């Protein structure tokens, strides 16, 4: 059933707007909110590896890059949750980047990198994005080891955000273990985050 559904989606490609509106189901056809980059792309990637059918990886890559081009802020190297946040500001004047949303993206990238062969022509984009996000996320860790709901205005959301912290520790540890991130730079961040979560 999973394969049949994915094949139906590919045969009936998304045509809705990227401006997410929960009252309009067509705006849920594309991956119009950053959490979706955890939910959908790894499924298509795994189906490609199971079946060998390139339509799955081609569709995944096309849709992923469409979402990246729409929701990724190339100045701040973070993902907006969805288009409604483009013009919002935090109390400190910073842009609104949701901790858990960026956690979903990094977690999804780990799942993609686990499946993408080292010599795949598709791999460089996802590996580069993974490394870029990790480098951006690591210095946003708070002194207590946690990250917060708002990545650029933690003072306005003082409660620790364990879900994004869990995702970030997971992704950073994966990066170290796979040789994608320098251990001496990122291991202290992982250890501090892990201790906070424990």
**Which residue in the list 21, 24, 35, 73 is annotated as catalytic?**
35
Transcribe the chain into DSSP letters.
Answer: -HHHHHHHHHHS---S-SS--TT-GGGGSS--STTHHHHSHHHHHHHHHHH--HHHHHHHHHHHHHHHHHHEETTTTEE-SSGGGTT-B-TTS-B--BHHHHHHHHHHHHHHHHHS-TT-TTHHHHHHHHHHHHHHHGGG--TTS---SBSS-GGGS-S--HHHHHHHHHHHHHHHHTTSS-HHHHHHHHHHHHHHH-
Largest Cα span, the chain = 49
Token pair recorded at residue 100? 């858990």
153 classed as catalytic: no
Q: Comparing C-alpha atoms, which of 167, 164, 140, 166 is closest to residue 154?
A: 140
Active site residues: 35
């Amino acid at each position: 059933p999973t394969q049949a559904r994915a094949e139906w989606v590919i045969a009936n490609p998304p045509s809705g707007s990227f401006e997410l509106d929960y009252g309009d189901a067509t705006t849920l056809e594309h991956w119009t909110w950053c959490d979706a980059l955890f939910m959908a792309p790894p499924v298509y990637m795994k189906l490609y590896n199971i079946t060998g059918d390139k339509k799955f990886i081609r569709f995944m890559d096309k849709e992923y890059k469409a979402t990246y081009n729409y929701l990724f802020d190339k100045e701040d190297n973070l993902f907006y949750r969805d288009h409604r946040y483009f013009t919002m500001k935090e109390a400190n004047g910073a842009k609104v980047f949701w901790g858990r949303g960026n956690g979903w993206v990094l977690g999804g990238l780990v799942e993609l990198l686990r499946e993408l062969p080292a010599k795949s022509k598709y791999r460089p984009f996802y590996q580069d994005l993974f490394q870029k996000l990790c480098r951006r996320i690591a210095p946003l860790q708070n002194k207590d080891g946690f990250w917060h709901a708002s990545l650029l205005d933690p003072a306005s959301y003082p409660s620790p955000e364990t879900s994004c912290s869990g995702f970030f520790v997971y992704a950073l540890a994966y990066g170290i273990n796979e040789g994608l991130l320098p251990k001496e730079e990122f291991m202290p961040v992982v250890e501090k985050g892990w201790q906070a979560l424990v």
